[in-house]
Amino acid sequence: MNNKNEKQKKYNIYLCTLGCAKNVSDSDMAAGLLEERGHHIVHHPMDSDVIMVNTCGFINDAKKESIDKILEMAGLKDEGEKKRLLIVSGCLSKRYGADLFEEMPEVDIFIGVNEYHRLPDILEAHQAKRELHIEDCAPDFMELSSRKLADNPYTATVKIAEGCNNVCAYCVIPHIRGHFRSRREEDILQEAEMLAQRGCKELILIAQDVTAYGVDLYGEFRLAALVKKLCRIDGLQWIRLMYCYEDRITDELIEVMASEEKVCHYLDIPIQHSSDVILERMNRRSTHQSIVSKLEKLRKAIPDIHIRTTLITGFPGETKAEFDELYDFVQEMKFERLGVFAYSKEEGTPAADMDGQVRRDVKEKRRDSIMRLQVELSLECNQKKIGQVLPVLVEEQDEDGTYIGRTPYDAPEIDNSVLFTSQRELKPGDLVQVRIEDAFDYDIVGVEV
């Protein structure tokens, strides 16, 4: 691969994506740009000339998963008759690029989260020498002209902003992704139109904080106005909002969610804790009372709303009393969807240097305690659906006549599934009506009507 004449070679490229939906979006864009230049995306590493691992570097478990995957892919570089290039991109690369460059000679090219627009040039110009391409500062939000989509993109994410200006004491995202920057409304609408024309039925708006959308470009929060315009696009049937900060969920946004039929009655609100003491140490803007008041307002305006949240146990200084307060809060609020993380000490964050670091076994015991409670609450929520007829988006066929799908109350990959039977042949992306007949901890069962 070090012959200069190979600069124009067209590569078969295998993309392996780890982490959140924002990483998936980045990989889609990278794949589109590569295909525009004549390269080919393949679905198995053994069919490739180039392997690219798009990593996550948010918390320790994600870092370990990323490193394990890099090493796994490195083991395939010389398998078979090909000698493959290995590229590592994404958050882990951005955060630890210089160290990884020294410690992982198996990797040929490192890029961060801001270099995808240059990836075709970097790849085509690559010679034998290993390369590190990590920009220190995040550029203005760059519109990429291409995006590779699945053959049947019935559900798709649209990134409406990049970066984050929140300075939560435990979080490295602002360091990795840069300052918050919104996309232009017209560019988002254009992408949504394209997705609808390709058959997209569920549009998922993503950003580190979607509720901050527009404040940097237009001087005001513009998420509600954007959602109303997206609802006018023919073909789109579900619009889902991910990662909403409690204090920025405006009355206008609630009204839009309540009145627009296409907007899923679902919000992902990362609350993290309920104790005012811990919330202040986390440098969160919310308080216990503001969270409770906002949840009550949402449930009054949208009675069937399903709220997903994430919590952190064992944050530095968390006492047993503060954990007990969190446990009681979960029991009282009865979140329909809930995930819990044991606090991960991340270097470079204020929380890493705080006094009162909690032992790992205590953090994990507290996490597991809440998750056991959530199993009971989830079953209770699911049992209330028995007898209801719900819209379901078909995702796969389990066996003849049996299918797996999701309701509007469930985001892909992280939430519940519906297992149901049908007397007719269905395909992924079909929207059907299902009567719910049984319920389990995290899934419900029914039959198409």
HEC string of 289-354 equals: HHHHHHHHHHHHHCCCCEEEEEEEECCCCCCHHHHHHHHHHHHHHCCCEEEEEECCCCCCCHHHHC
Closest CA to 429 of 195, 248, 207, 257: 195
- Looking at residue 8, its pLDDT comes to 67
Query: What distance in Å separates the CA atoms of residue 11 and residue 27, rounded to the nearest whole number?
Result: 16
| pLDDT of 385 strictly over 70 | yes
Residue 252 pLDDT: 97
What would the mean pLDDT of 194-211 be, rounded to a whole number?
Answer: 95
Q: Does domain 4-133 have CATH number 3.40.50.12160?
A: yes
Question: Which tens digits make up the pLDDT trace of 88-105?
Answer: 998 999 888 889 999 999
User: Looking at residue 127, what is its pLDDT?
Assistant: 85
**Structure confidence at residue 241 (pLDDT):** 97
Confidence of residue 115 (pLDDT cuts 50, 70, 90): confident
pLDDT over 50 (residue 205): yes
d(CA 203, CA 196): 9
Question: Backbone phi, then psi, for 22, in 5-degree steps?
Answer: -65, -35
Dihedral angle computed from the Cα positions of residues 36, 42, 43 and 44, in that order, rounded to the nearest 10 degrees: -150
Asked if residue 164 belongs to a known ligand binding site, the reply is yes
Q: Which CATH architecture best describes the domain 155-383?
A: Alpha-Beta Horseshoe (3.80)
Task: Name the pLDDT band for 5 (thresholds 50, 70, 90).
Answer: very low
pLDDT computed for residue 62 by the predictor: 86
Does the pLDDT of residue 3 top 50, yes or no?
no
**381 among the known binding-site residues?**
no
pLDDT at residue 145, rounded to an integer: 56
Is a pLDDT exceeding 90 seen at residue 24?
no
How far apart are the C-alpha atoms of 298 and 307, rounded to whole Å? Answer: 9
Please check the confidence at residue 447 and state whether its pLDDT lies above 50.
yes
| C-alpha–C-alpha distance, residues 169 and 348, integer Å | 10
Task: State yes or no: 56 annotated in a binding site.
Answer: yes
Q: Where are the domains of the chain?
A: 4-133, 155-383, 389-448
- By the 8 A CB rule, do 263 and 223 touch? no
Give the helix/strand (H/E) hosting 378.
helix 360-383
Query: What confidence category does residue 151 fall into, taking pLDDT thresholds of 50, 70 and 90?
Result: confident
Which pLDDT does position 136 carry in this prediction?
65
16 is in an annotated binding site: no
- Confidence at 405, pLDDT banded by 50, 70, 90: very high
Place 9 in a pLDDT band, splitting at 50, 70 and 90.
confident
Mean local confidence (pLDDT), 356-369: 97
Is 0.95 surpassed by the pTM of this model? no
User: Which residues, 6+ apart, have CB-to-CB distance to 326 below 8 Å?
Assistant: 273, 274, 275, 278, 311, 313, 370
Among the listed ranges 173-177, 219-223, 303-307, which one has the minimum average pLDDT value? 173-177
Considering the chain, what is the average pLDDT of its residues? 92
Residue spans of beta strands (DSSP E) within 343-383: none
Question: What CATH number is given for 389-448 in this structure?
Answer: 2.40.50.140
